[in-house]
A = this chain, B = another copy of it.
Amino acid sequence: MSEENRPIVAFLGPQGSYTHQATLDAFNHSDYVISPQVTIEDVFTAVQSGDAYRGVIPFENSSNGSVVFTLDLFADLHGKYPDILVCGESYVAVKHCLLGHAPSSETASTTFPAAVSPARPIADISNVKRLYSHPQAWGQCKEFLNTYLKHAERNDVSSTSKAAELVAQDKSGESAALSSIIAADMFDLDVLAKTINDRVENTTRFLVIRRKDSSTPPESIPSSPKSSATTATNGEQRNWKTLITFTVDQANPGALAHCLSAFEKYGLNLTSINTRPSGVENWNYVFFVELKGRKEEEGEEGKVNGALGELGRVCRGYRWLGSWENRLTAA
């Protein structure tokens, strides 16, 4: 297919980010134009406007929890993204490394053996005074940072990849980045410590978004071509997830319990719940609920429709944000 005919998949860049990896896991590079965006909001805008066929954004990390910027965009307080729906997900194992310039006497770090646990430096880091990373990474590497770099200044930047890029520019050896091993290659940095995250099974979940009126699998182009073939044949309809937001009358005791009972009544298992400031009034919240199940026009899966009908009677307002196939193995 020529570049002009290939659908665009927008993702949170830059190149070399974990979102980039998630995007390549879900979309064949040869069938799509994979297009990096500066912010998560830019991905939403590209999909809402129809410029991009799909968007890929980080949603949740197993150690650090939700990505609040993404939640706020789904909450859509200003009505800018009325047509955005989630249509897929992708999981990527996050292995942060400490990248920088090792003192010249040190052996090149890539020759070092595999990660040790608990992580410790594999090069001299006594000169490191400034750290750069995405804000979420600090919380994922607490033990290592508290042990070895407690007094280093922490600088938040827009991505772990950007952090590596900045550190590459400072040859003094005083700067280091919490970033991915692919960024070490990309910016020619030394690995000063490997897999420094507290939990080695640290995983980030990414969501694939589409416009409500865009084509959906199995018509034309599948959303996750690398795995849809197998899932289509086994006909496993029940392994789906659904995302819903709602608001409640917070003056009413039990309002939240009533809303959640709507899902219980239909036997729907809630897999997560989140809150974000409503933006309308201080100390009021938008609730996010994710559940096992699929909203459909008709058929056995009417449970989600039933629960939404019930929810509509007890909440102040709600929005269905899409149903998609579960990609979490052993879930």
Contact = CB atoms under 8 A, between A and B. Distances in A.
Contacts of A222: none
Number of chain copies forming the complex: 2
A154 B158 contact: yes
B72 A139 contact: yes
A162 B152 CA distance: 13
Contacts of A268: 253
Contacts of A287: 273
A319 B32 CA distance: 50
Contact of A65 (B134, B135, B252, B276): B276
Nearest to A274: B275
Interface in A283-331: 283, 285, 287, 328, 331
A219 B247 CA distance: 41
A203 interface: yes
Nearest to A145: B39
A199 interface: yes
A34 to B, nearest CB: 21
Interface residues on A, range: 35 or more
A269 interface: yes
A273 B256 contact: yes
A62 B260 contact: no
Q: Identify whether the interface residues of A are mostly helix, strand, loop, or mixed.
A: mixed
Nearest to A62: B282
Interface in A106-157: 134-135, 139, 142, 146, 150-151, 153-157
B257 A272 contact: no
A292 B153 CA distance: 39
A328 B157 CA distance: 34
A222 B285 CA distance: 32
Interface in A25-55: 38-39, 41
Q: Which 3 A-B pairs have the closest CB atoms?
A: A254-B264, A257-B260, A253-B269
22 contacts: A38-B150, A39-B150, A62-B277, A63-B277, A64-B277, A65-B277, A69-B139, A72-B139, A134-B156, A154-B158, A155-B155, A155-B157, A155-B158, A250-B271, A253-B263, A253-B269, A256-B270, A257-B257, A257-B261, A258-B264, A273-B273, A273-B275
Interface of A: 38-39, 41, 61-65, 68-69, 72, 134-135, 139, 142, 146, 150-151, 153-158, 162, 199, 201, 203, 250-254, 256-258, 260-261, 263-264, 267-277, 279, 282-283, 285, 287, 328, 331
